[in-house]
Amino acid sequence: MANPLFDGLFGRHSGKSTVFLHLPDGGTVTHAKFLETAARFANTLWDMGVRTGDRVAVQIAKSPEALAVYAACVQAGVIFLPLNTAYSAPEVSYFVENSGAKLLICDEANVDTLTPVAQAADAAIETLNGDGSGSFPEAAANQTTEFATVDRDGDDLAAFLYTSGTTGRSKGAMLTQTNLLSNSEVLVQEWRFTAEDVLLHALPIFHTHGLFVATNVTLLAGGSMIFLPKFDSDAMVERMPQATAMMGVPTFYTRLLDHPGFTRDLTRHMRLFVSGSAPLLAETHVTFEDRTGHRILERYGMTETNMNTSNPYDGERRAGTVGFPLPGVELKVTDPKTGDTVPDGEIGVIEVRGPNVFKGYWQMPEKTAEELRPDGFFITGDLGQIDADGYVHIVGRNKDLIISGGYNIYPKEIELLLDEQPGVLESAVIGVPHPDFGETVVAVLVPEKDGSPDLEGIKSSISGSLARFKQPREMVILPELPRNTMGKVQKNALRDQFGGLFTA
């Protein structure tokens, strides 16, 4: 037996002097040096009593050393649990306790508030800072650079990722070696990644997008990454001439378009721009292509499945869609009440099945049974439809469906109309409680720069395109929409903010 994930991503780079990471200060880290650090870290984990199958939770800044902790966990057969750096101590407490983590690694600045968290969960605590310092690397400094990779099977767990938890407690998605490796293999092929690629990496590495897509794909292809600690448009423009590909969220692209240095000439050598984690406005697609000559490739994935679909590398990258199911992934759209597949063109819940689909939710067998069918199809909770050409469209989340007076209302249909209105940059449509209809429609509008939407004019404009029950009963203007760290609009926050409009 071997360790498929470690062997596939890391093991074959052993001893290679080729550059793996290009750092913000101009320095580099070779594959060989990175793997030496990972081996030291794996030995340190072992010395601290962490064993195969144990969980290590990390809430640390993005750095080469942070990435080496991931590699060390894979090499030692330890389950890696990355946590959003914005989580508060009570939130971290839930994740550490629920996962049964043996060790928590955090930033030194947070050690005082997180030490009681670790103690309450009977976990050890170590520190690792964004500059590579901390008690954990200090403990690793004198370790050997050799570590006997632990044998693992494809069905063995490699990572836990907790869902955002917008409804109820966050759920720990259990991801296997095969889940992660198979998805990376498909993406390398579909997106044509090679050892010659240099990925401009400004995503966080506590999330599927930045870690299990961007990083794993680069490792599997044998390429390198320009490893920026966070998105900064000046830094992106400065480093783009050295890159061949970029992965980002929609806000990355809108901010780049606002930068005067982001030009067609700057991007002429780029091979690929990928966007995901949140829908990309059609306007951004068009503006980006006009400015650069490049058409952004949108794809669709989630915590429990990694990537499910992608627009084609060769062929039409269709705005407003997430392309086609990836090779090996089965996708269907079903009636949420019956589970029956609906005809193409009709809206239903997206279900997917394939080697990318997770094993279940940690210690939540009831939730697992609710969302993972016995035949292996995962009920994503995303509403979608498949058009006549086979492109998949995401309409919204099932929980965002509005039922007003017994009628189903899909927010995306209204948002597309609102986004086209003069002075509107983007919109979010939500359902709020209403004494007569159960729920009613509220539209939240973000104005264009220096724009001032005419609300009465907009209401009049869309009235001819929407049935009366779909028309927003109220429109409000906000300077921006609330988003999470990956750029997804937090409609639950908007519902909390405006939920009392008609019930006060």
- Please state the domain extents for the chain: 4-152, 198-397, 401-498
The domain 401-498 is classified under which CATH number: 1.10.260.40, 3.30.300.30, 3.30.230.10, 3.30.70.270? 3.30.300.30
Closest CA to 188 of 228, 153, 223: 223
Q: Mapped to the 3 state alphabet, what secondary structure does 335-387 carry? A: CCCCCCECCCCCCEEEEEECCCCCCEECCCHHHHHHHECCCCCEEEEEEEEEC
Q: How far apart are CA 351 and CA 339, in angstroms?
A: 9
Strand segments (E) across 356-467: 360-361, 378-386, 392-397, 402-404, 407-409, 424-434, 438-447
Residues 47, 40 contacting (CB under 8 angstroms)? no
Q: How far apart are CA 219 and CA 29, in angstroms?
A: 13
Look-up: residue for tokens 């509005």?
402
Q: Kindly report the backbone phi and psi dihedral angles of residue 297, in degrees, each rounded to the nearest multiple of 5, phi listed first.
A: -95, 115
Residues 458, 418 contacting (CB under 8 angstroms)? yes
Q: How far apart are CA 39 and CA 45, in angstroms?
A: 10
Q: Which two tokens stand for residue 101?
A: 């983590």
Residues 335, 342 contacting (CB under 8 angstroms)? yes
CB atoms closer than 10 angstroms to residue 407? 12
Amino acid letter for position 160: F
Q: Give the mean pLDDT of 140-158.
A: 96
Q: How far apart are CA 175 and CA 141, in angstroms?
A: 31
Look-up: residue for tokens 């903010």?
497
Lowest mean pLDDT, pick from 70-79, 188-197, 334-343, 400-409: 400-409
Residues 78, 50 contacting (CB under 8 angstroms)? yes
Q: How far apart are CA 283 and CA 426, in angstroms?
A: 10
pLDDT of residue 164: 63
pLDDT of residue 474: 93
% of the chain at pLDDT higher than 70: 98
Q: Give the mean pLDDT of 251-266.
A: 94
Domain 198-397, classified CATH 3.40.50.12780, yes or no: yes
Q: How confident is the model at residue 168 (pLDDT cuts 50, 70, 90)?
A: low
Q: How confident is the model at residue 166 (pLDDT cuts 50, 70, 90)?
A: very low
Residues 424, 457 contacting (CB under 8 angstroms)? no
Q: How far apart are CA 29 and CA 271, in angstroms?
A: 23
3-state secondary structure of 200: strand
Q: Give the mean pLDDT of 353-377.
A: 95
Q: How confident is the model at residue 1 (pLDDT cuts 50, 70, 90)?
A: low
Task: List beta partners, residue 160.
Answer: 174
CB atoms closer than 10 angstroms to residue 32? 15
Lowest mean pLDDT, pick from 55-64, 206-215, 417-426, 478-487: 478-487
CA distances from 205 to 58, 279, 280 (A): 11, 20, 21
Look-up: residue for tokens 């979010």?
428
pTM score of the predicted model: 0.86
Is it true that 4-152 and 198-397 share their CATH fold? yes
Look-up: residue for tokens 């997917």?
352
Task: Identify which has the larger pLDDT, 490 or 122.
Answer: 122
3-state secondary structure of 246: strand
β-pairing, 172-176 vs 360-361, is: antiparallel
Q: How confident is the model at residue 398 (pLDDT cuts 50, 70, 90)?
A: confident
* CA 275 to chain CA centroid, nearest Å: 10
Domain 4-152, classified CATH 2.60.40.10, yes or no: no
Q: What is the pLDDT of residues 196-252, one digit of tens each?
A: 999 999 999 998 999 999 999 999 999 999 999 999 999 999 999 999 999 998 889
